[in-house]
């Protein structure tokens, strides 16, 4: 799978894990001891935040803009401090859905190389590109062995399939494997064997083609619904793949918590933006996901959101 995305690795440079969350935990145990600082995109994957806190890490936030992580902020942070690593999701970023372009990836890799900063690239939705041409992972350009890539089958096939992997230089993999052995004598070998057979049979590629069609239609339904029903002042990302979209609302609509309660009363559930930040933000933000909703449900959800927001704004 890594070679299919332009990354040249050997079996000795890959470690199989119980999903991407397990892989991230292993990386933190290896590279970032308690009290260490790490640089992280803001907003970021919601389940990563409590993991960072569990490890007693200081989180240095790097804002995510329309084109990806703000590299000017990252450069200033790394000039003043020495983070143990930078955690990034450059493809279909969770929660914003933003995908960085080739130039941004080259600048980021160059910055990390110059600073000696390990780059942890979370490619959890790498396979879910269904609009336009794919951009290769940062790991594909990693000539100096500074990038640790996290992959998973769980988000593409189904969440209960806890099979993920790490791709990194062999010396790093050996350290990660030693730590993995202390905590987990063996993964789910049966699930791994099934995933391996599914890929070898060609079934995985056929499955990807089917799900790409399904999610392309769902994302189109979401974008169309937002354009049709959102009131003035609402802004949203326009992902080229993945499952998530980021919705920003005007402060006049009310607090994020009050809006979330209003949406639930009006029969629509979205994820509050506060789940994806380490600190509260003044403007209400929400993540919308198409992972478990049909096109009809997405259209109805947009209508309900529009009515609810209109009422909140007094429109």
Backbone angles phi, psi at 218, to 5 degrees: -65, -45
In the three-class reduction of DSSP (H, G, I as helix; E, B as strand; rest coil), residue 99 is classed as: coil
Block residue for tokens 């992959």? 151
| Adjacency order of strands within the sheet including 86-88 | 14-17, 164-167, 147-152, 119-122, 86-88, 37-42, 58-65, 68-69
Residue 271: the pLDDT is 97
How far apart (Å, rounded) are the C-alpha atoms in residues 200 and 259?
Answer: 47
Q: What pLDDT is stored for residue 54 in this prediction?
A: 94
Q: How far apart are CA 274 and CA 141, in angstroms?
A: 34
Q: Rounded distance, CA 202 to CA 176, Å?
A: 30
Task: Give the per-residue pLDDT at 186.
Answer: 67
> What is the model's pLDDT at position 315?
62
Query: From CA 44, how far away is CA 48, in angstroms rounded?
Result: 7
What is d(CA 153, CA 252) in angstroms, rounded to the nearest whole number? Answer: 41
Per-residue pLDDT at 155: 84
Strand partners, 245: 288
45, containing H or E segment:
none
Closest listed residue to residue 1, CA positions, set 163, 203, 201, 199 = 199
Alpha-carbon span 169 to 2, nearest angstrom: 14
pTM of the model: 0.94
Predicted local confidence at residue 202, as pLDDT: 94
- The per-residue pLDDT for 185 is 66
How does pLDDT run across 53-67, given as a tens digit for each residue? 999 999 999 999 999
107 and 100 Cβ atoms separated by less than 8 Å? no
Annotate 103-146 with three-state secondary structure. HHHHHHHHHHHHHCCCEEEECCCCCCECCCCCCCCHHHHCCCCC
Burial bucket for residue 96 (CB in 10 Å: 0-12, 13-18, 19+)? buried
- In angstroms and rounded to an integer, the radius of gyration of the C-alpha atoms of the chain is 20
Name the nearest CA neighbour of 150 among 278, 249, 51: 51
- CB atoms near residue 13 (< 10 Å): 19
Between CA 302 and CA 139 the distance in angstroms is 37
* Residue ranges of the chain whose pLDDT lies below 50: none
Query: What is d(CA 312, CA 263) in angstroms, rounded to the nearest whole number?
Result: 10
């Amino acid at each position: 799978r890594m070679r299919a995305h332009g990354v040249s690795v050997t079996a000795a440079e890959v470690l199989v894990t119980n999903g991407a969350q397990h892989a991230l935990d292993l990386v933190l145990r290896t590279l970032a001891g308690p009290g260490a600082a790490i640089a992280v995109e803001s907003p970021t994957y919601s389940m990563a935040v409590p993991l960072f806190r569990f490890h007693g890490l200081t989180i240095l936030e790097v804002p995510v803009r329309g084109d990806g992580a703000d590299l000017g902020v990252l450069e200033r942070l790394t000039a003043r401090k020495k983070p143990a690593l930078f955690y990034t999701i450059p493809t279909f970023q969770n929660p914003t859905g933003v995908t960085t372009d080739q130039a941004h990836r080259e600048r980021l890799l160059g910055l990390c190389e110059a600073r000696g900063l390990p780059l942890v690239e979370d490619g959890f939705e790498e396979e879910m590109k269904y609009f336009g041409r794919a951009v290769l992972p940062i790991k594909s350009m990693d000539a100096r062995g500074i990038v640790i890539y996290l992959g998973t089958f769980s988000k593409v096939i189904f969440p209960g399939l806890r099979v993920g992997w790490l791709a990194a230089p062999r010396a790093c993999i050996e350290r990660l494997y030693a730590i993995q052995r202390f905590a987990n004598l063996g993964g789910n070998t049966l699930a791994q064997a099934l995933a391996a057979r599914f890929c070898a049979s060609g079934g995985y590629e056929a499955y990807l083609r089917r799900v790409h069609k399904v999610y392309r239609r769902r994302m189109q339904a979401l974008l169309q619904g937002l354009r049709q029903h959102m009131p003035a002042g609402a802004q949203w990302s326009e992902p080229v793949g993945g499952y998530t979209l980021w919705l920003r609302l005007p402060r006049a609509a009310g607090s994020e918590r009050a809006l979330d309660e209003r949406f639930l009363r009006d029969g629509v559930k979205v994820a509050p933006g506060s789940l994806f930040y380490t600190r509260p933000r003044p403007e209400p933000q929400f993540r919308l996901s198409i992972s478990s909703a049909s096109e009809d449900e997405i259209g109805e959800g947009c209508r309900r959101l529009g009515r609810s927001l209109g009422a909140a704004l007094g429109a």
